[in-house]
Amino acid sequence: MSRYDVVEQGPPIEVFQMNNLFLNDSHQNKVNLTIGAYRDENAKPWVLPIVRKVEKQMAEDSTLLHEYLPVLGLEAFTNASVAMLLGQDNPAIAEGRAFGVQTLSGTGGLRIGAEFLNKQLHYTTFYYSNPTWENHHLIFMNSGFTTPRQYRYWDAKSRSLDIEGFLEDLRNAPENAVIILHACAHNPTGIDPTREQWERIADVVQERKLFPFFDSAYQGFASGDLDRDAWAVRRFVERGIELVCAQSYAKNFGLYNERVGNLTFVLASSKQVAPVKSQLTWIVRGMYSNPPAHGARVVATVLNNPALFDEWRSNIQMMSTRVIQMREALRAELIK
Ligand code: PLP
């Protein structure tokens, strides 16, 4: 007898279960299409050369200590992340109404953001695309949201974006519903709205007073161009829409296991920045107290140094070009 006898076996996480099936399979020519992590031409994990370089410098730097970071993270990192997302010259930054919170990668950003929206703004309904990354639902439910809803996205018949269904579902959403939007490289379909379609989505968000929560897990990784991949978020900000955006450095820096992320807030005015930050501080304090430093230091070092930044950009261009080439090659083989 154990007090744990009441615990039932939970279901497996599909993507990790698939990965285990792959690892245990003895087929010579097996191919892993499960976890979305970059592989080089030998199907091996790839540490970005820029990351290796900065880590070597850090190893020799005796001024780097293992003291706690502030609860909301390393400022050199969060400020650079906000600038990368919104563009350095964004008026929202100059006006002091945009700021970032360091988070445990993209997942942690979604979790802190959802918790804040539920506890502080009392939002309870969230919409996610059908289909979406399978973790959105769980993260929002665990954050206190009670009403999950889907919006139409993928039209299986025409094999394209169901923009009319998407807009209709948003039009029927209640005021203050949180709409999770993939900033670029929609997971799993890979289809993003065109700029004209994004304008129509923003129209409905404004008309119906919905709250956009962008999930940016692939900035720079999708097109190879950081600005192009952030276009939708920047356009919403330009239209005066308040929003949050969870940013992940897992893919574009290859820092999967370092859990490096940022949650960007854009408010209508700088007046509310201090109280919002104070409430976020208490959420983080009660969850994990403060974030880890290593990955955030690597990213901050690169983003704040123009020469290193250029090197990183060529690293992501290489990865995104290879991903695009692989897709085209796969498609060609399938057709053949
Ligand atoms: N959002 C989407 C759409 C993703 O595909 C992923 C990772 O696959 C994430 C968020 C979060 O990833 P991480 O927590 O590793 O940054």
Residue 309: per-residue pLDDT: 98
Tell which atom from ligand 1 comes closest to the C-alpha of 136.
1
Q: What is the band of 248 on the pLDDT scale with cuts at 50, 70, 90?
A: very high
Residue 106 DSSP SS3: helix
Average model confidence (pLDDT) for the chain?
A: 97
Span from the CA of 272 to the centroid of ligand 1 (angstroms): 29
From atom 2 of ligand 1, which residue's Cα is the shortest distance away?
A: 217
Q: What is the band of 33 on the pLDDT scale with cuts at 50, 70, 90?
A: confident
What pTM did the predictor assign?
Answer: 0.97
Contact partners, residue 112, CB within 8 Å, separation at least 6: 101, 103, 263, 280, 283, 284, 287
- The rounded distance, in Å, linking the Cα atoms of 163 and 188 is 17
Span from the CA of 2 to the centroid of ligand 1 (angstroms): 37
Q: Which two tokens stand for residue 162?
A: 């169901």
Residue 81: per-residue pLDDT: 98
- The rounded distance, in Å, linking the Cα atoms of 7 and 94 is 52
Reply yes or no on whether the pLDDT at 274 is more than 90.
yes
**CA distances in angstroms from 264 to 84, 175, 214, 248, listed in the order given:** 11, 22, 9, 11
